[in-house]
Structure 1
Amino acid sequence: MSTQTLERAIGLIRILAAGGAEGYRLVDLQQTSGLTKPTVHRILGTLKQQGMVEQVEDSRRYRLGQEMAVLGWSANRTVYDLKELAAEDLGAVAAKTGDTAFLSIRSGTETVCIDRQAGAYPVKAFTVEVGTRRPLGIGATGVALLAALSPDEAETVLDAVKGSLARFPDAGLRQIREAMQRAQQAGYALSDGLMLKGVRGIAVVIRDGAGRPIAGIGTAAINDRLPPSRISEIVRILRIHANHVEQRIATAESGTGTGSVRRFRAAEGKQTAHKRSK
């Protein structure tokens, strides 16, 4: 398989990931990818043989296959499960703010929401479902991650996603660049209507042990819940819990833990006991 074919196959996999269980028609994949119909059909055939793509019998639509889930499970077990590591802190953000808390990871030029927890405030801002993929720069976590990239990489991402921004009429390249610049100056991202009018989101970046921005943790609420006077307190809460998650990631990557919250806590307990014994 040539490098070009491999890149095209990965691109189709990313598109299919956004289609969920319903999947996409062949013509949809062709139009979205910009590839010819024979090329798309040939790549899909190979991916089907490997179990990474399946075709729904009734609708003839394509979607990700079971092998993709198996590979994802294997990756999480051998590295760490970020959703599991961050679950307690995401819940704490929702509890402390009273609003909806989100955890999203970076996947190439997109973000993927991997967890969402609701706060106690009765009016919820469910701006995105778990599993939803969006271009980097859309939503607070997308802005935060985009702002954390180098200037060259950020421009490469913006060039790649500009064709998919039509789905977000309030988030053109100019608006995203402005939000990105504000995030770089402030150290946190504010999405004011970029995703949904009347809703504001705030997010900060989560970095791995090497300092690379890999995820974002944030909250979203109706405008009245996020006046300027409240932003600093929300940011403080987000930074505290983003730092907790980063510490857990560092522990998992160092080999002290395996990515399991239970084992991470066991490692913490051993360290505490060791300190007390001194």
Structure 2
Amino acid sequence: MPGPIQSLSRAAAIMRLLAGGERRLGLSEVATALDLAKGTAHGILRTLQQEGFVEQDPESGKYQLGAELLRLGQSYLDVHELRARALVWADDLARAAGETVYLGVLHQRGVLIVHHVFRPDDTRQVLEVGSMQPLHSTALGKVLLAYDPVARGELGEEPLESYTSRTLTGLADVDTEAALTRERGWADAVEETWEGVASIGALIQDRRRNPVGAVCISGPVERVCEDGFVRPSLVASVRSAARAISRDLGAGRF
């Protein structure tokens, strides 16, 4: 097994050192504390500063942890709070709908599944927490594209991957679908990623009304749809669950 990368280990040690002190530290203090050459310490600090993980006081020249670490830490906490708040509601939704429930958040160019409730029957199922779903062809992704401008930016300007004959690959079509999602307050995806599978998703907001994720049900087309359209009762159940999770996160009524 390959050993640790020395430069990364040293960068981690510098960040731990800055996190443990009650004051800013100068270059010499960092180098001495970690038994590093000044040139080595300075190079690592400059790289961390460029990435936003370390900030340098313009007057004293001393270093402290940067805002990027706070942002990453907050993202970690938000995802775990989201999952914790959603547990009961996701279980209730799976029981009421009789289908699989997913909770997803934006991650780069896709949707990261952070919680998965099995369909409440005796069939064999595989846990999908940690897996990725496409943004443009799933109900979870369509919801995030509709409400989170960062998600739309992740798609870029190139044609999108086609998974089935129903997949929307043109950006204009995706934007039209996003507008429809905002108008009605929910999204659906019928055989757009997987043949025979349909899903319905709705937005989850935090106390600042920011989009923090989405919840959806997913199941066979013949159970999720009726006469070519998703069942209104399932749409209502998904939207109710999304509102309940949002309220638990501090969002007002919407």
The alignment's TM-score, normalised by the length of structure 2, stands at 0.60
Amino acid at match of 1:201: S
Q: Structure 1 pair 157/237, CA: closer, same or farther in 2 (3 Å)?
A: same
How many percent of aligned residue pairs carry the same amino acid? 18
1:195 aligns with 2:174: no
Partner of 1:158: 155
Q: Which residue of 2 aligns with 1:149?
A: 148
- Tell me the amino acid that sits aligned with residue 155 of structure 2: L
Contact map agreement 1:124 1:221 (CA 8 A) in 2: no
Q: CA deviation at 1:82?
A: 1.4
Would you say how many aligned residue pairs link Structure 1 and Structure 2?
Answer: 185
Aligned residue number for residue 211 of structure 1:
209
Whole-angstrom CA distance in 1 between matches of 2:124 and 2:224: 13
The alignment partner of 1:159 has SS state of: coil
Which residue of 2 is the match for residue 261 of structure 1?
A: none
Structure 1 residue 181: deviation in Å? Answer: 3.6
Q: SS of the residue aligned with 2:95?
A: helix
**C-alpha separation between the residues in 2 aligned to 1:167 and 1:49?**
43
SS in 2 for 1:85: helix
Task: Give me the whole-angstrom Cα distance separating, in 1, the residues matched to 2:241 and 2:132.
Answer: 23
Structure 1 vs Structure 2 CA RMSD: 3.5
1:119 equivalent in structure 2: 119
Segments of structure 2 that go 5 or more residues without pairing to the other structure are 13-70
Change beyond 3 A, Cα 1:166–1:75: closer
1:129: how far off? 1.7
- 2: CA distance, partners of 1:234 / 1:199: 15
| Larger RCO (CA under 8 A, 6+ residues apart) | 1
CA distance 1:48–1:99, shift in 2 (3 Å): farther
Matches within 5 A, 1:250-265: 250=250
Q: Which moves more between the two structures, 209-218 or 115-124?
A: 115-124
Q: Which structure 2 residues correspond to residues 65-214 of structure 1 after superposition, within 5 A?
A: 76=76, 81-121=81-121, 129-150=128-149, 155-159=152-156, 162=158, 165-166=160-161, 168=163, 170=165, 171-174=167-170, 176-214=174-212
Q: How does the TM-score come out when normalised to structure 1?
A: 0.55
Encode CA deviations 1:25-73: one digit per residue, 9 max, x unaligned.
Answer: xxxxxxxxxxxxxxxxxxx98556556xxxxxxxxxxxxxxxxxxx988
Q: Please tell me whether the aligned partners of residues 99 and 124 of structure 1 are also in contact (alpha carbons under 8 angstroms).
A: no
* Higher helix proportion (structure 1 or 2): 1
Give the 3 Å change call, closer, same or farther, for CA 109–166 of structure 1 in structure 2.
closer
Shift of 1:122: 5.5
